[in-house]
Structure 1
Amino acid sequence: MIRVLLAEDQHLVRGALAALLSLEKDITVVAGVADGAAAVRAAAEHRPDVVLLDIEMPVMDGITATARVREAVPTAKVLILTTFGRPGYLRRAMDAGASGFVVKDAEPERLADAVRRVHAGQIVVDPELAVASLERGRNPLTEREREVLRAAEDGATVADVARRLHLSEGTVRNHLSSAIGKTGARNRAEAARTARENGWL
């Protein structure tokens, strides 16, 4: 039996996924949790073969959780299952150690097949997303530029961002300016929106 851990913050979706996978004779769902931090704890406790992670979850996002799960249980494979089929998410998830990336509107049999394939050691990626990722190229933003853009996303002033991140205001301005240039945006709000839409944040 392939032991699966589900991490999805929407209770109904999590329940539906568990029910669908439980119909498969060779798959059993050992636990279901609502956030990334709980997924890491549950992975350490249950030692699943495959961990299905949503990306946008409270407490800890799925990409961060992917890296933590792989540290806690190196034998576990991570399959990202998300509504947000953004090319930047794909690259970041794979860099974090995910073995697969499937969008939620895939047919149920494709999900079960993806679970089996990642368990067998294969890499599984939604074909359309793979093409889009190749077309868009790598994330152009540095980790610091992403951090500054995230901090400025809620409309915070340069001074606010500098205080939050313990940086000088000049350094924050430089990172924002660089991020605006790299995203081809007119201002930092547009840069943050573009980066978010591409999965770069």
Structure 2
Amino acid sequence: MTETTTIRVLIADDQSLVRGALAALLSTERDIEVVAETGIGSDVVELVRTQQVHVALLDIDMPGMSGIEAAGALTSAGLACRSIIVTTFGRPGYLKKALTAGARGFVVKDTPPEQLAETVRRVHVGHRVIDPTLAEESLFTPDSPLTEREIEVARVASTGADTREIAKQLHLTQGTVRNHVSSIIAKTGASNRYEAARNAKEFGWI
């Protein structure tokens, strides 16, 4: 990267205050320009294309598509843009999913401004940047034992939905939901579906 290179950045976060804060922080850097912002994950790929984005900062929890899914979509589309997950959810399971999806960076939102800017620069030139504490924790966190269907059930259960509501939302029978819930409880070492969903979320499995 030469001194005259300007890194074109997209910020995707469903909280407008967070987007504004990140944009304000990065805009103070002479070699970084925020060229696009969105609060909807499914807008990321199109914005990257139209705005010629070099680095995308992606929150995990967004409507339309999660940040991890958006990182995967950028990878699948073959775009040169590199992605960084910037989130309050510093969970080892999310880190593993993000790296598998093709993200080149993973940092938490309380990262110091100068460190975030340096992360953008390093990722832009091809380096991988991971929050060191989270990287260490991930070494001791097991991979998710949940099946794709169990993940879906756990996600709905985490909203407080009962068996009937889960069955309705996922178009399953209540008996099938109970079987999945029993499996999730066993795999997470929980005593009920709400605790199981909470445990799965803490591990970053859902």
Q: Would the TM-score normalized by the shorter structure come out above 0.5?
A: yes
1:180 aligned to 176, 179, 185, which one? 185
The alignment status of 1:55 with 2:60, answered yes or no, reads: yes
CA offsets per residue over residues 29-69 of structure 1, 9 Å max, x none?
Answer: 11111121222321122121110001122332211121122
Distance in 2 (CA, whole Å) between partners of 1:157 and 1:137 is 28
The residue correspondences of 1:43-82 to structure 2 (distance < 5 A) are: 43-82=48-87
CA 1:103–1:188 in 2, change beyond 3 Å: closer, same or farther?
same
CA 1:163–1:15 in 2, change beyond 3 Å: closer, same or farther?
closer
Distance in 2 (CA, whole Å) between partners of 1:41 and 1:147 is 27
The alignment status of 1:145 with 2:150, answered yes or no, reads: yes
Alpha-carbon RMSD across the aligned residues, in angstroms, is 1.6
Distance in 2 (CA, whole Å) between partners of 1:73 and 1:26 is 25
Match of residue 20 from structure 1: 25
Q: CA deviation at 1:4?
A: 0.8
The residue correspondences of 1:1-150 to structure 2 (distance < 5 A) are: 1-150=6-155
Contact in 2 for aligned 1:5/1:29 (Cα 8 Å): yes
Distance in 2 (CA, whole Å) between partners of 1:191 and 1:70 is 32
Distance in 2 (CA, whole Å) between partners of 1:98 and 1:171 is 35
Contact in 2 for aligned 1:3/1:48 (Cα 8 Å): yes
Contact in 2 for aligned 1:55/1:63 (Cα 8 Å): yes
Paired positions, count:
201
Distance in 2 (CA, whole Å) between partners of 1:113 and 1:199 is 26
Secondary structure at the aligned position of 1:151 is classed as helix
TM-score by length of 1: 0.92
Distance in 2 (CA, whole Å) between partners of 1:116 and 1:126 is 15
2:171 aligned to 166, 170, 193, which one? 166
Q: CA deviation at 1:99?
A: 0.7
Secondary structure at the aligned position of 1:136 is classed as coil
Q: CA deviation at 1:73?
A: 4.9
The alignment status of 1:190 with 2:195, answered yes or no, reads: yes
TM-score by length of 2: 0.90
The alignment status of 1:156 with 2:161, answered yes or no, reads: yes
Q: For structure 1, which segment, 110-119 or 5-14, has the greater mean C-alpha deviation from structure 2 after superposition?
A: 5-14
